[in-house]
Amino acid sequence: MSLVHERTGRPVVITGGAGFVGANLAERLLQGGSEVLIFDNLSRAGVEKNLTWLKERHGSLLQVVVGDVRDGLAVREVVSGAAAVFHLAAQVAVTTSLTHPIEDFEVNARGTLNVLEAVRQQGTPPPLVFTSTNKVYGGLGDVMLEKVGARYTPASKEVAAHGIGEARQLDFHSPYGCSKGAADQYVLDYARTYGVPATVFRMSCIYGPRQFGTEDQGWVVHFLLRAVAGAPLTLYGDGMQVRDILFVEDLVEAFLAAHRNIGRIAGRAFNIGGGVANTTSLLELLRVLGELCGVQPTVTFSGWRPGDQRYYVSDVRAFGDAVGWAPQVGVREGLERLYRWVLAMQDRGQARPAATVSAP
C-alpha cells in the first residue's frame, strides 16, 4: 500500500524508524511503493541491522536521516516534506525513566512537541499517528483481581470480558508514564486546537521479528532469547501478571487503517493490543517457550517495581468499530513465528540474549 498518492513524491516519515516497530512499518510501506524517510538517533542496540536489512531490500526508496527528536530544527527539516508522519521515537523503559527522568521528559514530551510543531507549520499538515502506552493508566491498583491458575483474572465481568477501555481515568505513574502521558495529551490537543489530523495509540505489548530488545523493554523476545540459550531469567513480581500481546504485523495493519481513516478518528486515543483473545501471563508464556525450545527456562523472582500492572488487557473494540480492524495472529502462532526468526538470526550471529531479563 502506498501512502504518497495524494502528495506525490513526498516520503512517509517514521521517527524512531530503525527500531523494531518502525522497521516493520517501513518494510510494509516500501513493499507498497511508498518512499520512506527514517529519522532515528540509532541509540538502541541492534537497530543498525534493521537499516541494513531495509536498504538491501529497497535501495533508494528508503532515506535515512540520523538525528534526534530533541533537535527541533532537524525535526522541522524532515517533516517539511512528509506525506504522513508516524511518531515512534521515544525513551521506552520505565526503569531508565526512574534513573534519568529529565532525559526521559526531553525525549518523550519535548520531542513529541517538536514533532507536533513541525507538523502544524505545514500548509496542509500531514496525518500523524503517535504511539503512546498503556502506562498512562498507572498501576491499575483499583482493578480487583483473583488468582486463577497461573494468572490474575479481573473480578469484574466487564473487565474480564473486554479489558481496559479508553474511558479509564488517566493516572500517570513513573516518569515514563508522565512523559508519555503528557505527549499523548499534547497530540490530542493539537488535533482539537489546531486541527492537526492526529491520533494516539495507547499500546500494550508488541512482539515479532526485527526486535532487538534490551532487558528493560521487549520482554517477549528477551524471554525467548533466554529460553533458546538455556539461560536463567528473573521475573519481577510473581509471574502471574497478565498482558495482551500483539504481533507486529497486526500493529502495522492498525497503523495503515488509522491513516486511511484519519479524517474520522483525528483527536481520539485508542487502546491497541492483542485484546482479550490474545492474553498471557508471564508464567504461561514461559511454558509455551519451554515447549518450543524443549526445556523450561530457569526462573528466579524479585520484588515488584514502581507502577507495575498486575493486569493489563486492551479493550480494542473502539478502534475496531472505527476502522474495521482486529488482531489476526494468535499468541501461539506469533510465538512460533518469532521463534523461527530468532533461530535464523542466531544462525547468522545476530541475536544474543541479554545478561538478565525483567518482566514488563
- Residues with a catalytic annotation lie at 176
Distance from the Cα of residue 91 to its chain's centroid: 11
Q: How many secondary structure helices (H) and strands (E) does the chain include?
A: 14, 15
List the one residue out of 133, 332, 345, 337 whose CA is nearest residue 249. 337
Asked if 227 contacts 353 with a C-beta cutoff of 8 angstroms, the reply is no
The values of phi and psi at residue 126, to 5°, are: -75, 155
Please classify residue 102 by burial: count the beta carbons closer than 10 Å to its beta carbon, then call 0-12 exposed, 13-18 middle and 19+ buried.
Answer: exposed
Residue 252 vs residues 136, 156, 212: alpha-carbon distances, Å? 22, 31, 18
Give the SS3 label for residue 118: helix
Q: Which three cell numbers stand for residue 120?
A: 502544524
Coil, strand or helix at 154? strand
Cα 137 from Cα 140, distance rounded (Å): 7
**CA of residue 338 relative to chain centroid, distance:** 16
Distance CA 263, CA 266 (A): 6
DSSP string covering 177-232, please? HHHHHHHHHHHHHHHHHH---EEEEEE-EEE-TT---BTTB-HHHHHHHHHHHT--
- Distance in angstroms between the alpha carbons of the first and the last residue of the chain: 33
Q: What is the CA 271 to chain-centroid distance, rounded? A: 11
Distance CA(197)–CA(36), nearest Å, equals 19
